Chain A
Amino acid sequence: MLEPIQALLTPAVLGAIWAAAKAVIILLTLVLSAAYMIWLERRLLALWQDRYGPNRIGPFGLGQVIADMIKIFFKEDWTPPFVDKFTFILAPFIAMSLMMLAFALIPITPNWGVFAPDIGMLLFFAIAGLAVYAVMLGGWSSNSKYALLGGLRSTAQTISYEVFMGVSLMGVVIQAGTFNLREIVLYQEQHLWFVLPQFFGFLVWCLAGVAVTHRTPFDLPEAESELAAGYHTEYSGMKFGMFFVGEYVGIVMVSGLTTALFFGGWDAPFSSVFPALKTVPFLWFAIKCFLFMSSFILLRAALPRPRYDHMMSFAWKICLPLSLVNMLVTAGFVLWAGN
Chain B
Amino acid sequence: MVEFAFYVAGTVALFSTVMVVVNTHPVHALLYMVLSLLSVAMVFFTLGAPFAGALEVVVYAGAIMVLFVFVVMMLNLGAKTVAQERSWLTASGWVGPLVLSAILLVQLLLVLEPLQTTAPIGTTVIDAKQVGIALFGPYLLAVELASTLLLAGLVAAYHLGRQDD
Contacts and interface: CB of A to CB of B under 8 A. Distances in A.
Top 8 nearest A-B pairs by Cβ distance? Answer: A129-B62, A122-B54, A126-B57, A140-B73, A119-B54, A125-B58, A126-B58, A119-B50
A244 to B, nearest CB: 23
B74 interface: yes
A148 B66 CA distance: 15
Contact of B34 (A122, A133, A151): A133
Contact of A126 (B54, B66, B69, B70): B54
Contact of A155 (B28, B31, B34, B66): B66
A130 B66 CA distance: 9
A119 B73 contact: no
Contacts of B8: none
Given A140-B73, A148-B73, A130 B128 contact: no
Contacts of B74: 152
A122 B58 CA distance: 8
Interface in B47-67: 50-51, 54-55, 57-58, 61-63, 66-67
Interface in A69-119: 84, 86-87, 117-119
17 contacts: A84-B27, A87-B27, A118-B128, A119-B54, A119-B128, A125-B62, A129-B57, A133-B34, A136-B66, A136-B69, A139-B73, A140-B69, A140-B73, A151-B73, A155-B70, A166-B58, A179-B128
A137 B65 CA distance: 13
DSSP majority for the B interface?
Answer: helix
B45 to A, nearest CB: 10
A123 interface: yes
Interface residues on A, range: 20 to 34
A159 B9 CA distance: 28
A212 interface: no
Contacts of B70: 136, 152, 155-156
Given A118-B127, A125-B58, A133-B66, 11 more contacts: A118-B128, A119-B54, A125-B62, A126-B54, A129-B57, A132-B62, A137-B31, A148-B73, A155-B66, A156-B70, A159-B63
A122 B55 contact: yes
A97 to B, nearest CB: 14
Contacts of B27: 84, 87, 140
A252 B66 CA distance: 25
B20 to A, nearest CB: 16
Nearest to B73: A140
Nearest to A129: B62
Contacts of A128: 62
Nearest to A86: B28
A312 to B, nearest CB: 12
B128 A87 contact: no
Contacts of B66: 129, 132-133, 136, 155, 159
B163 to A, nearest CB: 12
Interface string B32-56: 0010000000000000001100110
Given A87-B27, A151-B73, A179-B128, A123 B54 contact: yes
B147 to A, nearest CB: 14
Interface in B90-127: 127
Nearest to A179: B128
B31 to A, nearest CB: 7
Nearest to A159: B66
Contacts of A156: 70
Interface centre among B54, B57, B63, B69 (most CB of A within 10 A): B54
Interface in A317-338: none
A117 B54 CA distance: 11
Interface string A3-22: 00000000000000000000
A130 B69 CA distance: 12
A94 to B, nearest CB: 11
A126 B63 CA distance: 9
Contacts of B50: 117-119
Contact of B61 (A130, A152, A155): A130
Contacts of B73: 136, 139-140, 148, 151-152
A327 B137 CA distance: 21
A119 B69 contact: no
Contact of A119 (B31, B34, B62, B127): B127
Contacts of A119: 50-51, 54, 127-128
Interface string A154-174: 011001001000100000000
